[in-house]
Copies of this chain bind each other. A is one copy, B any other.
């Protein structure tokens, strides 16, 4: 390594300019930090936050369609296909032709999917606890309130 001080040396010295005062920037940083903590505490089966959320929504809305699920997650229906394919391949989600509208696939969490969720939920709560650990309980609630207020409920 050079000992010339005219070369910038350690990364910690970088000046982030106006970034730290931007909500967008701090939100992105917090979300990345959350993702990394999730990967360490929850993601040992290769699961992502998105997959976890998808499983929870199907579990709480049995029989919903792929289109409804895609809308709830804000993604295109074509994107949903491969995701459900994989989750079905893992045996966690089951597609069923709806008898009322034979175009739609009603989605269900299988027994194996229930076991997966039963394993995940405590890990998810542990992740929440460790990720939110720097905050007091009222601060954590206030953060949730402010985030909800900003995005509109």
Question: Do B127 and A24 touch across chains, with their CB atoms under 8 A apart?
Answer: yes
Q: Which residues of chain A from 60 to 108 have any CB-CB distance to chain B below 8 Å in the complex?
A: 60-61, 63-65, 68, 71-72, 74, 98, 100-101, 104
- Is A25 among interface residues, defined by CB-CB distance under 8 A? yes
Complex: how many Å from CA A100 to CA B35? 38
Contact residues of A with B, CB < 8 Å? 2, 4, 6-8, 11, 14-35, 38, 49, 53, 56-57, 59-61, 63-65, 68, 71-72, 74, 98, 100-101, 104, 121, 124, 127-128, 131-132, 134-135, 139-140, 142-144, 146-152
Chain B residues with CB under 8 Å of A29's CB are 147, 151
5 A-B contact pairs sorted by A residue (CB < 8 Å):
A18-B121, A21-B144, A24-B38, A24-B127, A143-B150
Question: Do A146 and B142 touch across chains, with their CB atoms under 8 A apart?
Answer: yes
Question: Do B101 and A7 touch across chains, with their CB atoms under 8 A apart?
Answer: yes
A58 to chain B, nearest CB (A): 10
Other-chain contact of A146, B35, B60, B139 (Cβ < 8 Å): B139
Given contact pairs A14-B61, A144-B21, A30 touches B139 in the complex (Cβ within 8 A): no
Complex: how many Å from CA A60 to CA B15? 6
Other-chain contact of A128, B24, B57, B140 (Cβ < 8 Å): B24
Chain B residues with CB under 8 Å of A25's CB are 49, 53
Question: Do B4 and A151 touch across chains, with their CB atoms under 8 A apart?
Answer: no
A80 to chain B, nearest CB (A): 13
